[in-house]
Amino acid sequence: MLGRFDEAHAQFKRGLEIDPFSLPLNVDLGTCYYWERRYDQAIEQFHKTLELDPSFPPAIQFLAETYAAVGQYARALEEFEKIKTATTTFGTEGFVGYVYAKSGKRGDAERVLVRLQEQAKAKALPADEVAIIYTGLGDKDKAFEAWRSSCRKIGSIEAVKVDPIFDDLRSDPRFPDLVRCVGLTP
């Protein structure tokens, strides 16, 4: 699906014709819109998915990320709060820190970062949690260091070429190396 959006749309729509109530297919279609920067359609699709199941964490997560991408940070934080009450999903805290950073709440973002670093001493956390916050803070050196570490630990950041979270890093000369790290061609 990555970068082959026309094919992805066709597959998801075909799947939804067969099973219009499939939560994963509905979220995947919304995610495709999100990665294409078709944010209004993404928001609409995630809301449609949440009509089927208001507590489906992937739909809430991507809706929050889409709100963040369009600068609706308060709404993004509201959605992330819903995830916290629905489940203990990895990745949420990193994105909360990212949203704080992007919305100018640097102190809040740094507090989330410190909390995650403390938690990492006691238990394994996904390696991208810290990287996401550094990306939001605009600290490219630490962001690239953390993303490279994430790549080595998890082996793949499969959406690196399409996810809007990487937009602030794409113009950096180190970005092609990050893309190669995940096994893709820049």
Q: Does position 185 have pLDDT exceeding 90, yes or no?
A: no
Distance (Å, whole) CA 72 – CA 21: 28
Distance (Å, whole) CA 76 – CA 60: 9
Place of tokens 């000369």: 173
* pLDDT tens per residue across span 106-160: 999 999 999 988 887 777 776 688 889 999 999 999 999 988 887 766 545 678 8
Distance (Å, whole) CA 84 – CA 109: 17
Please give the share of the chain, as a percent, with pLDDT higher than 70.
Answer: 89
* pLDDT tens per residue across span 23-78: 999 999 999 999 999 999 999 999 999 999 999 999 999 999 999 999 999 999 99
Place of tokens 């790290």: 181
In the structure, what pLDDT confidence band is assigned to residue 174 with cuts at 50, 70 and 90?
very high
More confident residue, 101 or 121: 101
Q: Does position 95 have pLDDT exceeding 60, yes or no?
A: yes
What local confidence, expressed as pLDDT, does residue 161 receive? 85
How is residue 172 annotated by DSSP? Answer: S
What local confidence, expressed as pLDDT, does residue 129 receive? 84
